[in-house]
A and B are shown apart, each in its own frame.
Chain A
């Protein structure tokens, strides 16, 4: 029964090809026997079909693929037989080369960007990052799964990194919140020590505490070697 659930040879259609996944640990003769089963069911559908032989993660050397390919061509008159296409390289250099050209264009934004003033009693919720081009007034609430960036004055309550993203930041051009929360930590704003100079500031978690810093001097992203998707 378990053989039926996870047979050594599986066949599925991918595009205009037939993708055969097989267990390369089996001896060749047994593999041929197993491969007969799905192809016999295909009958004439297999004729001239383009075949991809994939040994899965274990991989298989070219001789097995050639051997099996020859066998399938002879017995079922299939078309071209190849190994699985090589996966595109995912190393850092490759990624960065992509970034420089056009990878950003393909990145789907997960940020909610709104313009305008959020007033007392209003609540803005974003699944990931939240950018407010305007002010967040006292009594208003901004809640985000990721960062909260306010291109204006933060006077209300900003709750970032919900429920448990402790690397989230809250940033505002004029940072005078009623209260902020990042992940599971909360900090109360203090009007008397508020930022009067109107320099942009940001809050992040450092040593299990919410710290507020000058964005111009302490910019946490300045030291990143390469632009990253947040």
Chain B
């Protein structure tokens, strides 16, 4: 059976596409799937750093497309997680070095090798975005609960629909205290405007910064709320679509807080 090509996109920059790609890639691989994460941000690559693989890059996606190396040679295996592979972007080329037809060819190859291929789309809706969505089967739109992010996500959703790709939504970097005070849009506000299927809610988490600096995936950090959310999102993508979505802004009683902690720990141990 062929794997799925999933593009992670947002329109706006800095909302956490790369973090989401790396975390979901790690979570899916931990759940036993063969996963490739592809950095599509040619000229401004980041995914390799977030995954802690920057010192192992020899070939990149542009080399594969230009026939300078084989796909296998550009694919870097993760040190910690089996079944997780990175195809890095080139840091020196231009975005239009790759054409949509190159992506079709590459994605066809990737589909045969991997269960999930996650494409980390660059910000914007120009060539890099067009290349990324060319061969995508599914799309994940990452959005922060702020007006500019929602507007850009909405634009991207329109463009994805025009290519007959039905996107799903991850609301990232929710700060429950600010939502409670009314200083931040709630995830309901975001879903109201974007009106697409919600895949998950991710709270702001200091562990993400630590993860990006150390290369240790957030899904492997035991106390990370964000890590827990990503594990659940990966489960929803991986055969458990009805797994309930926990609302990080919902008021919690002391008992729930306590039981929440216990269950969180046990879940991490399972993974």
Which residues of A are interface residues toward B (Cβ below 8 A)?
117, 119-122, 135, 137-140, 153, 155
Contact = CB atoms under 8 A, between A and B. Distances in A.
Contacts of B150: 138
The A interface, classified by DSSP as helix, strand, loop or mixed, is loop
A2 to B, nearest CB: 62
A138 B193 contact: yes
Contact of A139 (B151, B159, B161, B192): B151
B138 to A, nearest CB: 19
A120 B147 contact: no
The 5 closest A-B pairs by CB, nearest first: A119-B158, A120-B154, A120-B155, A121-B155, A139-B151
A43 B192 CA distance: 78
A120 B159 CA distance: 10
A155 B193 contact: yes
29 contacts: A117-B195, A119-B154, A119-B155, A119-B157, A119-B158, A119-B161, A120-B151, A120-B152, A120-B154, A120-B155, A120-B158, A121-B154, A121-B158, A122-B158, A135-B193, A135-B195, A137-B151, A137-B154, A137-B193, A138-B147, A138-B150, A138-B151, A138-B154, A138-B193, A139-B151, A139-B155, A140-B154, A153-B192, A155-B193
Interface string B134-176: 0000000000000100111011011101000000000000000
Nearest to B196: A117
Nearest to A137: B154
A192 to B, nearest CB: 11
A153 B194 CA distance: 12
The listed residue with most B CB atoms (<10 A of its CB), out of A120, A135, A153, A155, is A120
A120 B195 CA distance: 13
Contacts of A139: 151, 154-155
B38 to A, nearest CB: 26
Nearest to B192: A153
Contacts of A135: 193, 195
Contacts of B159: 121
A18 to B, nearest CB: 59
The listed residue with most A CB atoms (<10 A of its CB), out of B158, B159, B161, B192, is B158
Contacts of A117: 195
The listed residue with most A CB atoms (<10 A of its CB), out of B154, B158, B192, B193, is B154
Contacts of A138: 147, 150-151, 154, 193
A220 to B, nearest CB: 29
A140 B159 CA distance: 13
Contacts of B154: 119-121, 137-140
A134 to B, nearest CB: 9
Nearest to A140: B154
Contacts of B157: 119
Contacts of B155: 119-121, 139
A140 B154 CA distance: 9
